[in-house]
Structure 1
Amino acid sequence: MNKYIKPAVILFLLISCLAVYLSSNQSNPVSSSNPLYEQIKSKQQDYFKKPQNAYIDQVWKKTPGLNGRKVNIEKSYNKMKKEGTFNEEKLVFEQIPPEVSLEDLPVSPIYRGHPDKEMVSLLINVSWGAEFIPDMVETLSKHRVKANFFIDGAFASEHKDLVQMIEEEGHLIGSHGYGHKDFAKLSKSQALTNLDKANNIISSLVESEIKWFAPPAGSFTMGAVEAAENFDMYTILWTVDSIDWKKPTKDVFLHRITSKLHNGATILMHPTAVTASSLGELIPIIQEQYKIGTLEDLMSEKRGG
């Protein structure tokens, strides 16, 4: 062994010691005695929200859960340390999932999203009105809003290009059954046959999975809901009805919707003249208070803040 340590070896040892020092400091980025760090830590309980389990409501049936949230102290501190002062807008949150999710609940229809979620969803049932769909889709795209289109299988057979165009624009495609049947008058076996026929047609036109079923006129039995469940589909109803098929004036159409908006609302409409001409005014009004998302967004446990 050499009597003297070579300079290269000394440099290697110094670099190794520095790496160990930096590593230990990264694992413990800030002393708990730091005033800003302690302030964030002391305030974390003020911003804590408990997760809420999915549940069956007596009126609104299946209701999705909602994530809780907690402050990530280290990440929040790192965003504030440059200024050195507490800033609520720079808090970083982690979401806490609930123990019971929508898929854990027994078979039941769904009417709305979570009542604490500041989001609504547009449900567009399509069995007719092909001439109004391009304008509606254009308006939705202009406002960067995604809606849910429930397509009748018979309509899909006749208007394949429209169905594909709707999906290409990023909207959710669901089933409206086949032939606009009254599902309250169908046996479970008949409902299975009807839904299977509709799904085969729609699935041949789109790439997305058909996960949602909207029964025509909101008419159904539990047998129909169970039939949809057999195809891994949720049955969706609504909480706000535009009644646009009765050809209301634009003012009446807008009032029917805006006067009944609420957290988690599902808003029913159809491809009609009044809907196509009013959608551009309706969307900004809704967005003053709520986000607009697809059912996948509305029914997810993810919270906005």
Structure 2
Amino acid sequence: MKRNYFRYLLLLSSVLLVLGLFADASKARSSKMTKDELFRAIEKYSEENNREPVDAKVDSIWKAIPGYNGRTVDITASYKKMKSKGKFDEKKIVYKVIPPKFHLDDIENQPIYRGNSQKPMIAFLINVAWGNEYIPGILEALEKHDTKATFFFDGSWVKKNPDVAKQINDAGHEIGNHAYSHPDLQQRSLEETKMELVKTSKVIEETIGIRPKWFAPPSGSFNDTTVKVAEQLEMKTILWTVDTVDWKKPAAAEMVNRVVSKVDNGSMILMHPTQPVAEGMESMIKQIKEKGYKLGTVSELMSEERID
């Protein structure tokens, strides 16, 4: 009797085990998608997430605006990455970049006030002709938050402060041209303007071994001749979207709140090595990043590379 009972238990266990294996196999099969289902899922994702490229253009208000790459889902490549597991996985989506037809160099030579309005990046423009005492604090805040800025050097300042210029460059920041003697370029001739820019690029190159490709006119004073000369010297003219007005010595918190409330995709923020900037830089970086923007140099902002 006992022997039959144990045989019955053994048989029942075997049956339950087989049934469990069948259930697991069925569950595994049901969690997988057929080839057609997976392919259609990738196609649907593609329809919802493809982005058209944006051509560089001259805007009636913002003047020259850089282009921005588009993207399209590579359906075949994405399918190949997912087919072994038979599951849709957004992390395995493969994109192809679609460059714009017109680039910054293809459009009319105009000053640049901002990056592309679809690029969630912001750049700091730091014009340096004085204020050495505040530079260490600014550099410390930038380094602490792994942020790079574009410093525009006055040529005569570089001549007097080569070690500080090297320190800024060695910290990985981008260097631009800010003319030689902080002139009002709107009142200068073509030859005078050329001399100011050439002298500055020369002293920067002699000091740190870099030839600037961006030029920021002192006090934002320029005319068509200024932009033309900069272009002849292979530099684009950079202005700004948002001004800290730090030279008026506002309270740091007040300055930061006002600036952060105005920033948007592609904004360029003008500042100088002043006390409000030194005191407010860390807070400005934090608040801008909290709003979902990346911070980069002018070159990174002008790049057509996508941020997704």
- Shorter-chain TM range is 0.7 to 0.9
How far apart in 2 are the matches of 1:216 and 1:256?
A: 23
For 1:68 and 1:127, the matched residues in 2 are separated by 39
CA distance in 2, matches of 1:56, 1:261: 21
Give the Cα–Cα distance (whole angstroms) in 2 for the partners of residues 172 and 79 of structure 1: 39
Aligned-partner residue type, residue 190 of structure 1: E
The equivalent of 1:163 in structure 2 is 165
Flag the structure with higher helix content: 2
Alignment of 1:19-168 (within 5 A): 33-81=35-83, 83-168=85-170
Distance 1:261 1:83, change over 3 A: farther
Q: SS at the partner of 1:220?
A: coil
Contact 1:55–1:105 (8 Å) recurs in 2: yes
| Identity, % of aligned positions | 43
Whole-Å Cα distance in 2 between the matches of residues 274 and 43 of structure 1? 47
- Aligned counterparts of 2:157 and 2:79: Cα–Cα separation in 1: 56
5 Å-filtered alignment, 1:179-218, equals: 179-218=181-220
1:267: which partner in 2? 269
| 2:4 corresponds to | none
1:199, 1:56 → 2: CA distance? 27
Figure out how many residues of one structure are paired with residues of the other and give that number.
274
Residues 201 and 211 in structure 2, CA contact (< 8 A), matched pair in contact too: no
Matched residues in 2 for 1:33 and 1:252: separation?
58
Q: C-alpha distance in 2, partners of 1:69/1:299?
A: 18
Task: Tell me the distance in 2 between the aligned counterparts of 1:74 and 1:208.
Answer: 44
> Which of 230, 233, 236 lines up with 1:231 in the alignment?
233
Cα shift at 1:116: 0.8
Q: Which amino acid aligns with 2:172?
A: G
Tell me the distance in 2 between the aligned counterparts of 1:170 and 1:71. 34
Q: Secondary structure at the match of 2:156?
A: helix
**Aligned-pair Cα RMSD in Å:** 1.5
Scaled by the length of structure 1, what TM-score is found? Answer: 0.86
Distance, in Å, in 1 between the alignment partners of 2:92 and 2:174 is 33
Q: Which amino acid aligns with 1:250?
A: A
Q: Which residue of 1 aligns with 2:3?
A: none
In structure 1, distance between residues paired with 2:203 and 2:139:
21
Superposed displacement of residue 256, structure 1: 2.0
Residue in structure 1 matched with residue 305 of structure 2 by the alignment: 302
Q: What CA distance in whole angstroms lies between the structure 2 residues aligned with 1:163 and 1:76?
A: 47
Q: Distance in 1 between matches of 2:280 and 2:81?
A: 43
Shift of 1:132: 1.0
Whole-Å Cα distance in 1 between the matches of residues 38 and 209 of structure 2? Answer: 50
Structure-2 separation of matches of 1:166 and 1:75: 43
Normalising by the residue count of structure 2, what TM-score does the alignment of the two structures yield?
Answer: 0.85
Match of 1:253 among 252, 255, 264: 255
Q: Distance in 2 between matches of 1:63 and 1:76?
A: 33
CA positional deviation for 1:89 = 4.1
CA contact (8 A) 1:241 1:256 kept: no
Query: What is the one-letter code of the residue matched to 1:300?
Result: S
Contact 1:118–1:263 (8 Å) recurs in 2:
yes
Letter in 2 for 1:51: P
Q: How far off its partner does 1:134 sit? A: 1.6
Quote the residue 2:293 is aligned against.
Answer: 290
Give the superposition deviation at 1:259. Answer: 1.1
Unaligned runs of 5+ in 1: 1-31
CA distance in 2, matches of 1:154, 1:76: 55
Distance 2:80 2:210 in 1: 40
Q: CA deviation at 1:35?
A: 2.4
Distance in 2 (CA, whole Å) between partners of 1:63 and 1:152 is 25
Task: Write the letter of the residue equivalent to 1:64.
Answer: P
Taking the aligned partners of 1:70 and 1:228, their CA distance within structure 2 comes to: 37
| Contact 2:204/2:210 (<8 A) preserved | no
